[in-house]
Amino acid sequence: MSAGVSSAASAVSKEQNAHYTIALAGNPNVGKSTIFNGLTGLRQHTGNWSGKTVEPAWGQFRYREQIYTLVDIPGAYSLLTLSDDEKSARDYICFGGADLTVIVCDACCLERNLDLVLQILEASDNVLVAVNMIDEAPSRGVHLDLEVLSSELKVPVVALAARRKKGLPELKAAIASSLHSPSPPRPPSVIYSDPVEDALSVLTPALMEVLSGRLSARWTAIRLLEGSDSLISSINDFLGLTLEEQPSVSATLESALNILKSNGYDLLSLRRHVVSSIYSAASQINDKAVVKKESSRDTRQLKLDRFLTRPLTGVPVMLLLLAVIFFITMEGANFFSGYLQLAFDAAGMWLESGLTYLKAPHWLIGAAIDGIWRVLSWVTAVMLPPMAIFFPLFTLLEDLGYLPRVAFNLDEGFRRAGACGKQALTMCMGFGCNAAGVVGCRIIGSPRERIIAIVTNCFVPCNGRFPILTAMISMFLIAGGGLCGDISSALILTGFLVFSIAATLAASAFLSRTLLRGESSSMTLELPPFRRPKIGEILMRSFLDRTVFVLGRAAAVAAPAGLLIWIMANLAVDGRTLLSICTSALDPLGRFFGMDGVILGAFILGLPASETVIPIMIMAYTSGSTLVGAESTAALKELLLSHGWTWTTAICVLIFTLMHWPCSTTVITIKKETGSLKWTIISILLPTVFGLTLCGLISWIARIF
Amino acid sequence: MDLQVKLSDIPIGNPVTVCQVTGASDNARHLMDLGFTSGAIVRPLFAAAAGSPVAYSVRGSVLALRRSDSDLIFVYPCTGKGDRA
């Protein structure tokens, strides 16, 4: 994994100002990011599911006038691993050059965490164990003896409850003392069988000489004996030499392998022996340090889990939750949009009269008010509220631990489509932002299934596209307004979402029968315990984050887009404006697919940010006649109807919103994640072809009747 | 001990002890990383609507496996006493 190694190398240059670098490692979903945020004061995204962090994150904290750099590493179950995010974790832990590795463990399943602890103890010198979620242990019937644990592992152990911000000062103190007074050399944490130890004692001295302290000689020796190719090539990349070709190493490796062979070990049986030695060491330590009893909380969790996954209730509850979220989003958005529009209208008038008073030229007033201001106000007043409400609600479900249950319910569907069940998780991330969903696909181990998940991610509508859907639905598909209207809007939107999930499955199945032929392979999914979300904090934080994000995009993308459209609408060639030349050129194509040139043009110009599609459409329709202030839904509907919109047009726009090219950020991310132009182009074409085909079909049927 | 069966054939609710994990080494190793090691007690908790995946409690956590994965894990019924919880 050269990518992981190079990112680790670039890390070193980042850290020159700080004195010490500390890596935060551990199994997935043990609270590494929460500890990271607690120590650094940064806001790395947290959530209750495995695989949320796919890239190391850096932050700093200060303790007694000393600056420490902290690296939040993706979770891994083992250093001998399968998926890309785990490989990048392994590369950082083994080759990142951190001064100290803090291994975070979950107090409630310590035994499994100990496997990784023992593996890291083999690879690194300076290690500290942090047992997190210690507050949950008693209610789950777990009793830990941390002193026994510390003396068994021969490293310092700290207990903390990071979600409740408890134990963080103690952790800082322990980090400082581990760094300032390094622990004496430890005996090996895992002892293997006599022949293996004999082989190691032959190989280790030769390696010690070559490695000169850059890697643990014992750990490197085991990896060489095991013959794990990808890991050995990572080691060689890191060292900048080929270990097996060093004369002293190749000679001793030969004789070490002979010792193993004469004792009946081949590669496979050696690997099994290594793994089972680690696990039996882990369970012996666990037996000494942990007592576990059945608890009433486990029973309650199990009941909830059964309810959320039972055939009769699982899927209906999932749909109901979605519908409730949409309902709250729409109700809340209407409320806020109204006030925001009033404010923007007032400010716009004030701005216009101010500019007139200053005797600004006519074109400047036009560009500023009709161009920039109108698109800006649309994006903030109409698009922002639903996004700022939906996102925190969704984060609540994420924090509760519901997303893995969705993946559990949908796995069989994804398996039949030849894809990985974890694609349900990346799909859910796509509801927030498709670019984030594409990056999240690193949790999928099989390269084939990962490409499927990446290419089909934008089949689910991201946050920026939701408001287009809600606007279309409330204008054209719902008769009355009010509470009844909102409930039916929420239900219809849920229907469209189910449709988009079905389309994701269909597209995945299509890919695994054509371009990415293959059967779905292994899938293992951790179902973390449900945790009470920290409601206030999540609501405020993701609400504010989302607001800042959208406002930032509004300024960076929507405002220039507004200016561009205004210029196109006002620059005339041969008596026709540029905009009308473009839209009439697109018109036949648009009409064929049940839309028109303006709509198609708006989607093309909306490439940098989907939020701008509707405002661009309005500007194009109203260009020349600035009298229509299409800020309210009713006025907008009038405007659209006057430009020949029908019920069919609205349906086609809805379908096309769900399925067209991804926004430019997502396209760039896909290129980065796949490293392939071919898959980037396919990710643009596939949803577009799907969407246009459906729209064409709908408008053809509509023409018949 | 002589009555080894696949984990995928164990009905919901019955605790069993892992005997061994078979199959391609990477897959088997990953299952062991997740806690399915010989001697570990596994209990099938609940299944998805389609019958697969099934959620198992193992070594303090809950893990869902597809049938193709739980086919690789051989188990024998718990004797009750003497096994580690």
Chain-chain contact of A271 with B25 (C-beta, under 8 angstroms) = yes
What mean pLDDT do residues A44-66 have? 78
Q: Which of residues 281-300 of A touch B (CB under 8 A)?
A: 283, 287, 292
Size of interface A-B (CB pairs under 8 A): 128
* A159 dihedral zone (left: phi>0; alpha: psi -120 to 50; beta): beta
Write out pLDDT tens, residues A604-624: 988 888 888 888 888 888 765
pLDDT at residue number A152: 92
How much is the ipTM here? 0.90
Average pLDDT of chain A to the nearest whole number: 85
The domain boundary, picked from A253, A278, A303, lies at: A278
User: If pLDDT is split at 50, 70 and 90, which confidence band does A198 have?
Assistant: very high
- The domain segmentation of chain B, as residue ranges, is 5-77
Chain-chain contact of A111 with B64 (C-beta, under 8 angstroms) = no
What mean pLDDT do residues A643-668 have? 92
Task: Say yes or no: A328 contacts chain B, CB-CB below 8 A.
Answer: no
Calculate how close chain A gets to B36, using CA atoms only, in Å: 10
Residue ranges with strand state E in A80-145: 100-106, 127-132, 142-144
pLDDT at residue number A631: 56
pLDDT at residue number A263: 92
- Do A335 and A445 lie in a common domain? yes
- Do A329 and A224 lie in a common domain? no
pLDDT at residue number A4: 38
- Do A327 and A467 lie in a common domain? yes
Chain-chain contact of B29 with A108 (C-beta, under 8 angstroms) = no
Chain-chain contact of B63 with A525 (C-beta, under 8 angstroms) = yes
| Higher per-residue pLDDT: A2 or A534 | A534
Report yes or no on A550 lying in a domain. Answer: yes
Report yes or no on A299 lying in a domain. Answer: no
Write out pLDDT tens, residues A74-126: 888 888 766 667 778 888 888 888 899 999 999 988 888 998 999 999 988 88
User: If pLDDT is split at 50, 70 and 90, which confidence band does A12 have?
Assistant: very low
DSSP type of residue A529: P
How far, in Å, CA of A699 to CA of A85, rounded?
A: 44
pLDDT score of A626 more than 80: no
User: If pLDDT is split at 50, 70 and 90, which confidence band does A459 have?
Assistant: very high
Calculate how close chain B gets to A293, using CA atoms only, in Å: 8
Task: Say yes or no: B64 contacts chain A, CB-CB below 8 A.
Answer: yes
The domain boundary, picked from A153, A180, A207, lies at: A180
CB-CB: which of A112, A287, A309 is closest to B84?
A287
pLDDT score of B23 more than 80: no
Task: Say yes or no: B68 contacts chain A, CB-CB below 8 A.
Answer: yes
Write out pLDDT tens, residues A532-571: 887 777 777 777 777 787 778 777 888 888 888 888 888 8
- Do A555 and A581 lie in a common domain? yes
- Do A468 and A393 lie in a common domain? yes
| Higher per-residue pLDDT: A555 or A528 | A528
pLDDT at residue number A103: 95
- Do A359 and A436 lie in a common domain? yes
Residue ranges with strand state E in A214-370: 290-292
Chain-chain contact of A526 with B64 (C-beta, under 8 angstroms) = yes
- Do A157 and A204 lie in a common domain? no
How far, in Å, CA of A616 to CA of A636, rounded?
A: 13
How many DSSP H helices and E strands does chain A contain?
A: 31, 11
What mean pLDDT do residues B35-50 have? 88
B33 contacts on A by Cβ (under 8 Å): 77-78, 80-81, 115
pLDDT score of A13 more than 70: no
Asked if omega into B53 is within 30° of 0 (cis), the reply is yes
Task: Say yes or no: A408 contacts chain B, CB-CB below 8 A.
Answer: yes
pLDDT at residue number A671: 93
How many domains are contained in chain A? 3
| Higher per-residue pLDDT: A271 or A286 | A286
Q: Which residue of B has its CA nearest to A409?
A: B48
Residue from A85, A267, A279, A284 whose CB has the most chain B CBs within 10 Å, to mutate: A279
pLDDT at residue number A628: 44
| Higher per-residue pLDDT: A8 or A385 | A385
Residue ranges with strand state E in A238-327: 290-292
- Do A166 and A203 lie in a common domain? no
Report yes or no on A294 lying in a domain. Answer: no
pLDDT at residue number A464: 83
Chain-chain contact of A412 with B49 (C-beta, under 8 angstroms) = yes
Q: Which residue of A has its CA nearest to B64?
A: A525
Q: DSSP states of B16-48 as a string?
A: EEEEEE-SSHHHHHHHHHTT--TT-EEEEEEE-
CA A161 to chain centre: 24
pLDDT score of A690 more than 60: yes
pLDDT at residue number B83: 42
Calculate how close chain B gets to A140, using CA atoms only, in Å: 10
Write out pLDDT tens, residues A375-401: 888 788 877 888 788 888 888 888 888
Task: Say yes or no: A142 contacts chain B, CB-CB below 8 A.
Answer: yes
Read off the CATH number of the domain in which A132 is found.
3.40.50.300
Task: Say yes or no: A618 contacts chain B, CB-CB below 8 A.
Answer: no
Instruction: Kindly give, in sequence order, each residue whose CB lies less than 8 Å from that of residue A610, ignoring residues fewer than 6 positions away.
Output: A462, A464, A465, A468, A657, A663
- Do A557 and A674 lie in a common domain? yes
DSSP type of residue A30: S
Residue A169's domain comprises: 2-180
Report yes or no on A292 lying in a domain. Answer: no
Chain-chain contact of A523 with B50 (C-beta, under 8 angstroms) = no
Report yes or no on A295 lying in a domain. Answer: no
Q: Which of residues 510-529 of A touch B (CB under 8 A)?
A: 521-529
pLDDT at residue number B3: 67
Name the percent of chain A lying above pLDDT 90. Answer: 32
CATH of span B5-77: 2.30.30.90
Report yes or no on A32 lying in a domain. Answer: yes
Name the 3-class secondary structure at B57.
strand
pLDDT score of A346 more than 70: yes
What mean pLDDT do residues A330-356 have? 86
Chain-chain contact of A412 with B46 (C-beta, under 8 angstroms) = no
CB-CB: which of B35, B61, B66 is closest to A522?
B66
B68 contacts on A by Cβ (under 8 Å): 521-522
pLDDT at residue number A676: 92
Chain-chain contact of A275 with B32 (C-beta, under 8 angstroms) = yes
Write out pLDDT tens, residues A407-418: 999 999 999 999
Identify the top-confidence range among A394-398, A425-429, A518-522, A694-698: A694-698
A305 contacts on B by Cβ (under 8 Å): 45-46, 55, 62
- Do A262 and A398 lie in a common domain? no
- Do A501 and A378 lie in a common domain? yes
A279 contacts on B by Cβ (under 8 Å): 32, 37
pLDDT at residue number B2: 52
- Do A174 and A198 lie in a common domain? no
